[in-house]
Structure 1
Amino acid sequence: MVQKMQNKNFERLSEGFKALHLSVNEVNLEKMDKFLQLLLKWNKVYNLTSINNETEAIDKHLLDSATLIPLLKEFEQPNGKTSVMDVGCGGGLPGIPAAILLPNFRFTLVDTVAKKIAFVSQVIINLKLLNAQAVNARVESYCPEEKFDLITSRAFASISTFINLTEKHLSKNGRWIVMKGKLPEEEIEKIPDFVKVVEIRKVEIPNVDSERHLVVLSRK
């Protein structure tokens, strides 16, 4: 039964990644499914997500997170050490799926809720994700040794709040990438004066009929 369910999950993930034009291998699929199982298992106690159904979690969490991958790739640094901070990572979304699919990137997943970081830390250990680390901190008081090439968020805060809290962590030529549902026109109008919108990209999540936008920003 477990094998049958795993095969079903692999099939849905494979079809989803194909629709997103992402190339994945068996190891990627195994890690994605393992992350899914851990997320749903821990969710019973830690309340990590309102979604309890495997199929829905694949679509609305894993594949939704994967829509970020093509954009991240476009900003890959030539030194092969692209650094990404995922703010308000919650149950590891989109940071964990991104770390699985982009092994040459370095991910730092930050959240203020200790139980969520405890979960993310366990996932990183179980999946042997050597390119990821979890940090329990308020992003405004976090003191990393280096600045980040990219800073991402998914359902964290308004764009202005996100930028103001993280501006000190962004490298000189870095980018913010915000994952939003409907086009956040009012939020975009209120961005700080020192920031400009680089791109707004509409993306589609396989099997999900809802709007999704990626907003890329930089300093002027």
Structure 2
Amino acid sequence: MTGEMSEQLPPAPDVAYEVFHGAAMARAEAFADLLAGPGVVRGLLGPREVSRIWDRHLLNCAVIAEAVPADVRLVDIGSGAGLPGIVLAIVRPDIRVTLLEPLLRRTVFLNECVDALGLDNVEVLRARAEEVAGEREFEVATARAVAPLDRLLTWAMPLLGPDGMLLAMKGERAAEELEGAASQLRASGARTAELVTVGHGKVEPPATLVRVIAGPKPNVGRRDEGARDGDLRGRHEVAKRGARRRRKR
């Protein structure tokens, strides 16, 4: 843990009860505790972020659900502490979420969170996006504070099926990043790219997303099931075993 003092986790604001309903609210509160405790201790969240867990992190991520279609397979690229992936899985039990994260210490934390929250619509996959491309296909990809948009496109677009959607959480420089990624958007075969805002009346300011829709893609470059899929399953099992070892200590 850093030398900074962790701030106290505030109670959930009233608006949280409008965004998270029923069992989702209990899970959101439990996830807030996990972020403020083990998340800070293991360096996945800065100590000074604890006082802002609800407004800056949980609610800001939850409102992305407004842009996510029903019953989709969603991949959260570079999931880190599970933001926004775990939050979306909590607020939208109809979707299947894959938390894609290459670092072992993070996948251990993610598996512990998934187990503690009882999320049966989530899998944790320890891998890089480029290792999964061609093996798995998703309708939606999300990313938060992972990379500039032009680089993110090179990771996200190969994971999407035809007409799939990338939702990239961006801040005040979203328009600038979108303009700067014009050549990569063309190279990736994107059909449309636009800025959208979500969470009006729930978060202030509303969350800004870059929404990119993939064009039609031929089914090429896919390897047969075997060594590659086995390798991915192996990394998934490593992450699971790491989580079990952590719980035994």
Query: What is the number of residues matched between the two proteins?
Result: 203
How far did 1:17 drift?
A: 5.2
Amino acid at match of 2:38: W
The match for 1:46 among 27, 36, 42 is 42
- Residues 30, 52 of structure 1: alpha-carbon distance in 2 compared, 3 angstrom cutoff: farther
Which residue of 1 is the match for residue 190 of structure 2?
A: 195
Which residue of 1 is the match for residue 52 of structure 2?
A: 56
Separation in structure 2 between the aligned mates of residue 199 and residue 143 of structure 1, nearest angstrom: 24
How far did 1:40 drift?
A: 1.5
Which residue of 1 is the match for residue 236 of structure 2?
A: none
1:216 and 2:211 matched: yes
Query: Is the contact made by 1:181 and 1:211 (CA closer than 8 Å) also made in structure 2?
Result: no
Which residue of 2 is the match for residue 106 of structure 1?
A: 96
Structure 1 residue runs without a partner (length 5+): none
How far did 1:29 drift?
A: 1.1
Query: Is the contact made by 2:168 and 2:209 (CA closer than 8 Å) also made in structure 1?
Result: yes
Separation in structure 1 between the aligned mates of residue 99 and residue 59 of structure 2, nearest angstrom: 18
How far did 1:199 drift?
A: 3.3
How far did 1:25 drift?
A: 2.5
Per-residue CA deviations over 1:152-200 (Å, capped at 9, x if unaligned) read 1011111111111122210112011110011423321223212244431
- Residues 65, 16 of structure 1: alpha-carbon distance in 2 compared, 3 angstrom cutoff: same
Which residue of 1 is the match for residue 30 of structure 2?
A: 34
| RMSD over aligned Cα atoms | 2.5
Per-residue CA deviations over 1:66-106 (Å, capped at 9, x if unaligned) read 1201111xx22xxx4x1000001110000111001111100
How far did 1:144 drift?
A: 7.3
Structure 2 residue runs without a partner (length 5+): 1-7, 216-249
Pairs within 5 Å for 1:58-137? 58-72=54-68, 75-76=69-70, 80=71, 82-137=72-127
- Residues 92, 163 of structure 1: alpha-carbon distance in 2 compared, 3 angstrom cutoff: same
How far did 1:205 drift?
A: 7.6
- Residues 51, 215 of structure 1: alpha-carbon distance in 2 compared, 3 angstrom cutoff: farther
Query: Is the contact made by 2:156 and 2:166 (CA closer than 8 Å) also made in structure 1?
Result: no
- Residues 160, 53 of structure 1: alpha-carbon distance in 2 compared, 3 angstrom cutoff: closer
1:162 and 2:152 matched: yes
Separation in structure 1 between the aligned mates of residue 116 and residue 158 of structure 2, nearest angstrom: 32
Identity rate, percent:
25
Query: Is the contact made by 1:182 and 1:212 (CA closer than 8 Å) also made in structure 2?
Result: no
Amino acid at match of 2:15: E
TM-score (norm 1): 0.82
Which residue of 2 is the match for residue 9 of structure 1?
A: 11
Separation in structure 2 between the aligned mates of residue 213 and residue 53 of structure 1, nearest angstrom: 20
Separation in structure 2 between the aligned mates of residue 208 and residue 65 of structure 1, nearest angstrom: 10
Per-residue CA deviations over 1:22-73 (Å, capped at 9, x if unaligned) read 4x3231111111111111111343101114454411111101111201111x
Secondary structure of the residue aligned to 1:217 is: strand
